[in-house]
Amino acid sequence: MTAGLPAEAAGLPVGLAGTPSNVTVLARRRGAPRFTLQLISVVGGLSAWQLFAMSGIVPPLFLPKLSDVLVDLWNLVSTGKLNQHLLASGIEFGGGMLAALVVGIVVGIGMGASSRIDKLLVWWVSALDATPRIAFAPLLIIWFGIGLESKMVLVFISGLFPILLSTASGVRTTSRELLEMAESFSIPRLMQFRAIILPGAVPFIITGVRLGITRGLIGIVVGEMIASTQGIGWMLSNATDTFNMVRVFALIIVLAFVGVSLTTFARWLERRFDTWRAV
């Protein structure tokens, strides 16, 4: 027991130091400073920003004051302006990701389960996956216009390949032993799929989704910055064009918040489904 070691070294009776209640206390004591450190790090960093901007060493165009940024952020929220653009970006992201999920999982299963489908598609998938998705942005805008649709498609092709490829590898790595067991019990093919192959692939699919979300987020911001009429990326490029640095920083904070929320959610999902992968 690792918790017993320091006590042993300190000459304390091990049996006493190793009791469960002591272990919990140790863990709790170790947890508290970690949270304090995080708090110090965030508050300290933000204060440093505010103080540095107030000192006048750099012009406000380079680094606006945090207080100004927060005021602007509050205005954006209270006037409903932010909500409106967040909604537009959200629709693009949601629509694109949903399509990426459905197509990625279905095609991924096909490629993982059938080497014929795999041979048929593998070159296209690898080539498209290796190409920076942003390169397609101008093309998509010509094809689908500057409205929501072009961004939706960009999110779709950004999120698609990570989901598709990890689904395929999840299906491919199904344990031979489990399949032989299913064979021995005469489990029909379709049920082997539902009860063994798919559940085995779920952790892989979730990992793909996490990667897909990150890439989709990049796709949406860059897509909107290139050409659009609304959305967070549009606001960002608008603020840059008018040298509104306060607004730029306010939007970056919003994006950071959205990004952290989404990846935290994806990691939580991943951990939830990981309990059985670790067997």
Interface residues toward another protein, by CB under 8 A = 177-178, 180-188, 191, 195-196, 199-200, 202, 275-279
The distance of closest approach from Cβ of residue 206 to another protein in the complex, given in angstroms and rounded to an integer, is: 13
- 163 Cβ contact list (under 8 Å, min separation 6): 100, 101, 104, 105, 108, 205, 208, 209, 211, 212
Alpha carbons 279 and 175: distance in angstroms, whole number: 12
Report which secondary-structure segment, H or E, holds 256: helix 245-274
**Nearest to 161, CA basis, from 115, 198, 202, 124:** 124
In one-letter notation, the amino acid at residue 111 is M
Nearer to another protein, 209 or 217 (CB): 209
Structural tokens at position 262 = 């989404």
Which is closer to another protein, CB of 127 or CB of 278? Answer: 278
Question: Closer CB to another protein, residue 143 or residue 276?
Answer: 276
**Rounded least distance, CB 182 to another protein, Å:** 8
Residue entry with tokens 């064979």: 183
- 177 or 241, CB closer to another protein? 177
User: 146 or 198: whose CB is closer to another protein?
Assistant: 198
Q: Which is nearer to another protein, 9 or 278 (CB)?
A: 278
Q: Among residues 165, 157, 142, 159, which one has the least CA distance to residue 227?
A: 142
Cα 48 versus chain centre, distance: 29
The distance of closest approach from Cβ of residue 121 to another protein in the complex, given in angstroms and rounded to an integer, is 28
Question: What does residue 242 show for φ and ψ, rounded to 5 degrees?
Answer: -100, 15
**Nearest distance from C-beta of residue 166 to another protein, angstroms:** 18
Selection from 157, 156, 154, 163 nearest residue 105 by Cα: 163
Cβ at position 198, least distance to another protein in Å: 10
Residue 187 CB, nearest approach to another protein (Å): 4
Nearest residue (CB) to another protein, 127 versus 279: 279
Q: Is the dihedral of CA 111, 114, 115, 119 positive or negative?
A: negative
The residues, ordered by sequence, that sit 6+ positions from 258 with a Cβ below 8 Å of its Cβ are 86, 217
Question: Which C-beta is closer to another protein: that of 89 or that of 192?
Answer: 192
Task: State in angstroms the smallest separation of the CB of 217 from another protein.
Answer: 30
Minimum CB distance to another protein, residue 82 (Å):
41
Tokens 């659009």 sit at which residue?
228
Q: Which two tokens stand for residue 152?
A: 């939706």
